[in-house]
Amino acid sequence: MRIVIVAIALLGIAGAAGAEAARQDAGLFVFRRICNIQPGQNAAARTLAREMTDLVERNYPGAEMSVQTGRWITGAQNIERPVDQILFSERHLDPEMRQDFSEILMGNDEFRTLQRRMQGIVDFVSCTETEFRERP
């Protein structure tokens, strides 16, 4: 299992430093999506994970994203018949920054190509999403 974390500091306006520090004290906003990997697609999922984090690292310094493969228990997972899964995780100062980052990614042709490739690798019906604040 390979974990790749891309650290991104989305810093804005000069007066926002105080508000930013207060938000960091409250913990970063985390978004996670776990999806089942289609049977026989583990290698392709690992490759896709590397390509996704490489794209973010190369084009969007300041975003924090990781992708890993493994097994987690979700609503779409039968404990008696576990399946391999892929976990996409992002960390942001607040939910608005996540929305902005998502819009930027969706405007990137290379990212959209990766999204299309996921159709044969990931079972989208099985995806489970969570959002939470990290503890400081």
Rg (alpha carbons) of the chain, rounded to whole number:
16
The CA distance from 16 to 19, in Å, is 5
The tens place of each residue's pLDDT in the chain, 136 residues long, gives 333 333 222 222 223 444 444 444 578 899 999 999 999 999 999 999 899 999 998 888 778 889 988 888 777 667 777 889 999 999 998 889 889 988 988 999 999 999 999 998 999 898 999 989 988 7
The topology (CATH level 3) of 4-8+24-133 is Alpha-Beta Plaits (3.30.70)
Domain ranges of the chain: 4-8+24-133
Question: Is the entire prediction scored with pTM above 0.85?
Answer: no
Closest CA to 1 of 53, 80, 71: 71
